[in-house]
Chains A and B, each alone.
Chain A
Amino acid sequence: MIKVDEKKCLGCFSCSNVCPSQNITRTETPELRSVHWKRCKEECDLCVEFCPAKALTLVPYDESCPEPTLSFDLVACKICGSRYATEPMLKRIESSLPANLQKDSTGLDWIWVCPVCRRNIEAERATKQMVLGRSRKSP
């Protein structure tokens, strides 16, 4: 059965996606994500292999062991406030990318901004000149 290292789990749902026997369930609300690992007798190790954080290990089946559940608050976007990711996932992104890629041309820490706002910022940057040019025309 599955043992979870709480300090490493990202709350990414990868293990739940790859488990062939639906032993790992998850819930997601606008504010919260949680993952629940049921006791399992299967000896496949897909969840262990496909955990990006290597947070899972397999241990011998033990009826008395509680089934772990972990919950993560979703972090709010710095700009619009919508909740879009777990904190461990965002920290993981920080550690995967070189420092020079983590701030955009205006110095914004875009990792802490949600994908929708990121698209908006990119669109605004791209259209800035055009908007200036065209709004000078309107009476």
Chain B
Amino acid sequence: MPVYVDISRCIGCRSCEVACKRVHGGSGHVNVHFAGDNASVPVFCHHCEEASCTMACFTQALHKVGERTAFDVEKCTGCGLCRLACPFGVVWTDKIAHKCDLCEGRETPACVLTCPANALSLDFELASRRARARAALVAAHGGRR
């Protein structure tokens, strides 16, 4: 259960990047990518069900806890295999690995709270609910605004 992005709302302000970095002592786990001049989206850990980073981690520092892909820093040797095993490139290794931990220890992830456009959420249905509501309104007005 990762942080979900309502891409229609991302304004490319990069607050999520700076907040994540601040809350994790200088190593952030979010990167906002710009698709030319037309859109932006933060790329985060997907907390995959079949998490390849956990399959590559030979000490089980990376392991699943329910829906979350968790990280036990004590077990990490800094081998860097997880970084190469992530299909989305969202595991980083310096001396040890770091990745999104859904802000363990906080009630709500910092990026979700800080996003000025309210584009981030733990609710995977939110973006599609909003889109469906908008579509319903357009349909109700006969396809015009």
Q: Do chains A and B touch in the complex (CB under 8 A)?
A: yes
Where the two chains meet, the residues of A that have a C-beta atom closer than 8 Å to any C-beta of B are: 10, 12-14, 17-18, 50, 52, 84-85, 89-90, 92-93, 96-98, 101, 104, 110-111, 114-120, 122-124, 126-128, 130-131, 134-135
Q: Which residues of chain A are near B39, meaning CB under 8 Å?
A: 127, 130-131, 134
Given A17-B95, A92-B81, A117 and B40 contact (CB-CB distance below 8 Å): no
Q: Which residues of chain B are near A13, meaning CB under 8 Å?
A: 78-80
CA distance A123 to B36 in the complex (A): 11
**In the bound complex, do residue A119 and residue B55 qualify as a contact, i.e. CB atoms below 8 Å apart?**
no
Nearest-Cβ distance from residue B89 to partner chain A, whole angstroms? 3
Interface-centre pick from B52, B59, B87, B91 (highest chain A CB count, 10 A): B87
Given A127-B40, A130-B7, A131-B35, A110 and B87 contact (CB-CB distance below 8 Å): yes
B31, CB-defined interface residue at 8 Å:
yes
**In the bound complex, do residue B84 and residue A130 qualify as a contact, i.e. CB atoms below 8 Å apart?**
no
> What class of interface size applies to chain B in its complex with A?
20 to 34
Q: Lowest 7 CB-CB distances: which A-B pairs, in order?
A: A115-B89, A123-B33, A118-B89, A14-B79, A119-B89, A127-B39, A127-B35
**In the bound complex, do residue A101 and residue B95 qualify as a contact, i.e. CB atoms below 8 Å apart?**
no
Given A115-B86, A116-B89, A14 and B78 contact (CB-CB distance below 8 Å): yes
CA distance A10 to B60 in the complex (A): 18
Q: Which residues of chain B are near A116, meaning CB under 8 Å?
A: 89
**In the bound complex, do residue A97 and residue B85 qualify as a contact, i.e. CB atoms below 8 Å apart?**
yes
CA distance A131 to B7 in the complex (A): 10
Given A17-B95, A50-B59, A119-B88, A89 and B52 contact (CB-CB distance below 8 Å): no
**In the bound complex, do residue A96 and residue B56 qualify as a contact, i.e. CB atoms below 8 Å apart?**
yes
Q: Which residues of chain B are near A10, meaning CB under 8 Å?
A: 79, 81
